[in-house]
Structure 1
Amino acid sequence: MTRLWNAPDDFPDEMLAGFVAASGRWIRQVPGGVVRSTRDPRPTVSVVIGGGSGHYPAFGGLVGPGLAHGAAVGNPFSSPSARQVESVARAAHQGRGVLLSYGNYAGDVLHFSEAEAALRADGIDCRTVRVTDDIFSAPADRADQRRGIAGDFTVFRIAGAAAAAGLGLDAVESLASRANARTRSMGVAFSGCNLPGVDEPLFTVPDGRMAIGLGIHGEPGIAEVDLPTADGLAQLLVERLLADEEVPLPDGPSSARVVALLNGLGSVKYEELYVVYRRVAELLDVAGVVVADPHVGEYCTSFDMAGVSLTLLWLDDELERLWFTPADTPAFRTGSVRTSLPRPAAAASTERPDGPLPRASAESRQLAARIVTALDAGHAAIDAAAEELGRIDAVAGDGDHGVGMRRGTRAASHAAAAVAQRGAGASTTLNAAADAWSDKAGGTSGAIWGVILRAVGRELGDEADPTAEDLVRGLNRAVEGVTSYGKATVGDKTLVDALVPLADTFAAAVGAGADPALAWSKAAAAATRAAAATADLLPRMGRARTHGERSQGTPDPGAVSLAVLARVVEQSLSPVD
């Protein structure tokens, strides 16, 4: 289990501080993550990577000449927020554009896409390559839905090498996409991992069994088999990777030269990995596959998970040339990198200084005070429910929903209180809460709750006397925003299954002339019933999608947490008159 931490909520910040203190030769800290401590002799395209913490050396350990220019670092197993990604990208940008690259997970897609839009709006050419190497997470005909696991490393490496060669953004994007299309990975686990401060592992594997097709965020395996020998494991990994239908080789695997990456996920150590790799090398040789560059070690971990993955990158002449160029990062070094120049101390940041607040009416300021009360109570309720939310999330997901919601509600409560004390109205207060929630929670839930709070805030405004009809419109805008942003609809087993009944029931009750407090009570009850009913659904979106029937019988944690907060509003915040 993960043993060394102080306060669990402080773990990512303290981890990053220690990493920076130990790695100043390569990196320095900026808001949201790290960037190189040196700059290229001539400006290049900037490669910015990122994801949740808990995966070292991904992502900060891969920042340096020949690889990434910056890494946004989120909470354990949660994507960094859009604000974090944007901050790192602005600090890393050298004037020739930015390539964002990350594993294909819902929260990462939402936050990185939002950051990309913000950069483009400011005239910074920004592109994205999502890594989709995990062959077990979706069939070959839906390869774009696959997750990114240890194959992140090969894609990042090619992108960084292309940038270091002075290529333009079009070429860097194209080569990174080609590397992704030619990278395949498969993982197995013998036991789950523990998040800091969580007593139980995110999943367990029976004695004598092995989970296959697991995710790097503690998602349980898609299937279980009897525990094989080291040679048996090597055969399973090689056979499955070579059999993938979409390996992009005109003459089949026998024409291939590959980079082979045998990755330990946390507590399987080097001696064991070498026993497995011995047989991997033999099997690839028998298949006529030439290993141009073998790597055995830890490249993308999952805290203390006992697991192994094998990644193969099928090379072509251009990819092979780029692969063997020099690189120098905290976790990966090869060849001799030219001496780089120190980076100037100042860095771009998206931190917003305290400034004048929009003018607010007395009625709106009163509502802002009630919003602060509700957010305080919401944080207390989520804190009490966090362990259960994590438990139901771990059934078919990564188990971090309760931790993320706790961070998000705490940050939102503090941010809202700070601006309300300065005289902010309802809209400004909700926007401050939305920014803080999204920033500190990260992940899908952080992005979605940011959308909800901003949508409601826009309709309530700062200067008008808020009405129940304003809240009706705000909830409707929240539904529109969430479904557009996350693409989920009712029946997909997500937060939307509770949000839509909440909004519809409140609107119908207000339209029928019900007292706003009674209308909200009816809406909260509808959301609670709908959240419970998600137990009967099969997931069609998010990480739980890959586990199908495993999640049936367990409600969706996002829908449950929304219902918890709806009840809090009923109890502590009288709806607007």
Structure 2
Amino acid sequence: MNEQVSTKKLINAPEQIIQEMIEGMTGAHPDLLRVDGQTGRAIVAVDGPRAGKVGIVIGGGSGHEPAFAGYVGRGLADAAAVGNVFASPSPAHIVEAAHAADGGAGVLLLYGNYTGDVLNFTMAAEELAGEGVNVRQVAVADDVASAPPERKNERRGIAGDFFVFKIAGAAADLGEPLARVEALARAANDATCSMGVALSPCSLPQTAKPNFTIGAEDMEIGMGLHGEPGIRRQKLATADVVTDELMDNLARELALKQGDRVSVLVNGLGATSQIELYVMFRRVKQRLDALDVKIHASWVGEYATSLEMAGASVTLMKLDDRLQALLDHPCRTLALTVGAMEPVAEKGRVRRQPERTPDRSATTMEAARELIADGDITPALFRAMMQNVGDQIIAEKDWLSELDGVIGDGDHGVTMEVGWRAVQKALDDGPDNEAIEGICKRMAKAFLDAVGASSGPLYATAFLRAGTAVGNRLNLDSEALAAWLSAACQGIRDRGRAEPGDKTMIDAWVPAVSAALERAQEKGSTLDILIAARDGAKDGMEATAAMEARRGRAAKLGKRSMGHIDPGAASTYVMLRAMSEARERAVG
């Protein structure tokens, strides 16, 4: 990648940016918002949640402001779970938001259709259901550029969140039951389509570098909300030409005809002037007028941004009488106010505190004296291996983010760094007599709570499965080490539902485990097994360059994803390389 100039942002420490943003947001709007829960990532409507009403919980990564917390308030969302920049909130964040929103009538989770959000919200829903909460979920999928009509369920969610959240929030505010609120949210999702264009990249606070490159005279058609490349790159065109292309696709998708009604959102991505947005809206209206399609309501401005990206999207929702009535229902949030809200007698509600069982995750040597002691990887050495993984991931974070910037949103290195720093701290805080299964459980919780995104659930599941696989061991011998690696890989496959050839981390994990198991059968040492796994991961990582992505955000690129190494496969190689290095040092 070419040398890039650092970007400038008015921030303090990047690792504090979300906490400080939340403090500023709630401080500026104390009549609307408050923070609930221990994580500090659940933003709740002061006068939203109430007994007998379906709770509406929205959420996603930061960097899209005013989405998502900007839509928290009476008549819209009751709470938002706030993730790191361009990364899904973790299940812990989502669960706390749901607890604050739960009025006893059930909870509906709403989020964009991205792998990380789907994984984290699904894990949160499973936990809530286990507590007895009646929970449903809807993934917004409005971006017509990201998948054809026959694969609508694969489309990513962009600015269409605006309309889907509004419809669901209104239905809940009117006292509709959970099944009805969910059905109306899905109807809004089906009636909403978006498409956008980007003129410049954005930059993550942690890297201060553009997360993709684009020529001075180029634009990206169909750009994703996280900076993912669109369907094609072409020379910059006039506002009318660009808007016409967007409208051609939207009108065809919604089968617009004479007499139809729509609502319109022309949304800026963060660095687009109001002049440009209104010029685009002018053309949208001309096109709809030509079709004799009535605009019932319209919004022009920044409603779902991508940090400081220049560009815009157009969203249409095709209306029927029920959707129109819900769109017109009053709401009051910092980003959207419709009509006038009646005051509520009870402001806020003490959130339900679920019963918590004691944490029994740690498996200690004191509590399990029957553990098998054969093997040269002791718990102390295992911790040293994991600490070295953290060191190596942190050292390679810029490389990993650069790889991700080419085919994703550029945050993989940042996400992995955050997760492994949390793991390192958790390892330092753990008891000296903790067995390997307990260490794995500690790692899983730390990674998941810190990261969210897609990596959080995937590696949390990997660590939990791997720890369980060696739950009867004090030390790991060759066979047990191979079992640990195999279980970690299977956990990732089960949680992410990816298979070899999809161009994901699995393409490094599978050959790594295959090589490890083969060396174990040959009675190789633990070091032999780790070296084999490392080399297998390296081969698998390099092979991803020739693959077309079939999973994750890169899958929307089609053949444009070819020629580039998958960042998840690269971080897998770094992890296994670090484990083998630590084991080799112990031998020396």
Distance 2:317 2:206 in 1: 36
Q: Distance in 1 between matches of 2:451 and 2:269?
A: 24
Give yes or no for the alignment of 1:325 onto 2:325.
no
Counterpart pick for 1:378 among 371, 389, 393: 389
User: Structure 2 length as normaliser, TM-score?
Assistant: 0.92
- Could you list the per-position Cα deviations for residues 186-211 of structure 1 after superposition, in whole angstroms to 9, with x for gaps in the alignment? 00011011111323211222122221
Aligned residue in 2 for 1:6: 12
User: Contact conserved, 1:261 with 1:310, CA < 8 A, in 2?
Assistant: yes
User: Cα–Cα, structure 1 residues 8 and 437, in superposed 2: closer, same or farther, change >3 Å?
Assistant: same
Contact map agreement 2:478 2:524 (CA 8 A) in 1: no
Where do 1:143-222 residues align within 5 Å? 143-222=152-231
Task: Tell me, in whole angstroms, the C-alpha distance in 2 between the residues paired with 1:471 and 1:524.
Answer: 13
Aligned-residue offset at 1:59? 0.5
Hey, what does 2:3 align to over in structure 1?
A: none
Contiguous gaps of at least 5 residues in structure 2: 1-6
Q: 1:192·1:305 contact (CA, 8 Å) conserved in 2?
A: yes
Question: Which residue of 526, 541, 556 corresponds with 2:536?
Answer: 526
How many angstroms apart in 1 are the aligned matches of 2:139 and 2:586?
A: 43
Q: Which residue of 2 aligns with 1:402?
A: 413
Q: CA–CA distance in 1 between the matches of 2:578 and 2:111?
A: 36
1:267 maps to 2:277:
no
Q: How big is the shift at 1:115? A: 0.8
- Select the residue among 457, 472, 496 that pairs with 1:486: 496
Q: Does 1:412 align with 2:423?
A: yes
Letter paired with 1:429: I
Indicate the larger mover: 455-464 or 43-52.
455-464
CA deviations over 1:325-380 (Å, ceiling 9, x no partner)? 10011111111112232224666489998779544257799833323322222222
- 1:345–1:168 distance in 2 versus 1, CA, 3 Å: closer
Amino acid at match of 1:535: A
* Contact 1:257-1:315 at 8 Å conserved across structures: yes
Residue 394 of structure 1 and its aligned partner are, at CA, apart by 0.9
Moved more, 544-553 or 496-505: 544-553
Equivalents in 2 of 1:350, 1:159: separation in Å? Answer: 29
Question: Which of 277, 288, 299 is the equivalent residue of 2:292?
Answer: 288
Q: What RMSD over aligned residues (CA atoms) do the two structures have, in Å?
A: 2.3
Offset, 1:38: 2.3
134, 138, 141: which one aligns with 1:132: 141
1:16 corresponds to 2:26:
no
List aligned pairs for 1:75-474, cutoff 5 A.
75-244=84-253, 247=254, 252-340=256-344, 341-344=346-349, 348=353, 357-360=362-365, 361=368, 367-421=378-432, 423-461=433-471, 464-474=474-484
1:87–1:349: 8 Å Cα contact kept in structure 2?
A: no
Distance in 2 (alpha carbons) for counterparts of 1:520 and 1:417: 24
Describe the SS at the equivalent of 1:255.
coil
CA contact under 8 A between 1:2 and 1:195: conserved in structure 2?
Answer: no
Q: Secondary structure at the match of 2:378?
A: helix
Spell out, residue by residue over 1:243-267, the C-alpha distance to the aligned partner (whole angstroms, 9 max, x if none): 22xx2x6xx4323111100000001
Q: Determine the structure 1 residue equivalent to 2:516.
A: 506
Q: Equivalents in 2 of 1:190, 1:443: separation in Å?
A: 26
The CA deviation at 1:319 is 0.6
Q: May I ask how many residue pairs the two structures share in their alignment?
A: 571
Q: Secondary structure at the match of 1:276?
A: helix
Contact 1:372 1:420 in 2 (8 A): no
Corresponding position of 1:71: 80
Q: How far did residue 281 of structure 1 move?
A: 1.2
Partners of 1:4 and 1:476 lie apart in 2 by 45
Any conservation in 1 of the 2:165–2:185 contact (CA below 8 Å)? yes
The offset of 1:490, in angstroms, is 0.7
1:376-414 per-residue CA deviation (whole Å, 9 max, x = no partner) reads: 222221111111111111111111000000001100111
Summarize deviations over 1:484-516 as a string: whole Å, max 9, x none.
211110111110011112222111211221112
Asked if the contact 1:455–1:475 (Cα under 8 Å) also holds between the matched residues in 2, the reply is no
Is contact 1:493–1:556 with CA below 8 Å preserved after alignment?
A: yes
Q: For 1:454 and 1:507, how far apart are their aligned partners in 2?
A: 20
SS at 1:415's partner residue?
helix
Using the alignment, how far apart are the partners of 1:351 and 1:2 within structure 2?
44
Q: Structure 2: how far apart are the matches of 1:232 and 1:352? A: 60
Q: What is the identity percentage for the equivalent residue pairs of Structure 1 and Structure 2?
A: 39
Deviations 1:443-488 (A, max 9, x none): 1112211111111111222775544333333322222222121111
1:515 maps to a residue whose letter is S
CA contact (8 A) 1:424 1:462 kept: no
The answer (yes or no) to whether the contact 1:220–1:397 under 8 Å persists in 2 is yes
Please tell me whether the aligned partners of residues 184 and 313 of structure 1 are also in contact (alpha carbons under 8 angstroms).
Answer: yes
Q: Helix, strand or coil: the match of 2:199? A: strand
Amino acid at match of 2:338: T
Match in the other structure for 1:35: 44
Segment drifting more, 229-238 vs 54-63: 229-238
Change (3 A) 1:78 1:349: farther
2:447 touches 2:459 (CA, 8 Å); kept in 1? yes
Contact 1:51 1:80 in 2 (8 A): yes
CA contact (8 A) 1:517 1:575 kept: no
TM-score by structure 1 length?
0.94
1:44 maps to what in 2? 53
Tell which deviates more after alignment, 264-273 or 293-302: 264-273
1:294 counterpart SS class: strand
For 1:78, give the aligned amino acid: A
Deviation at 1:94, TM superposition (A): 0.9
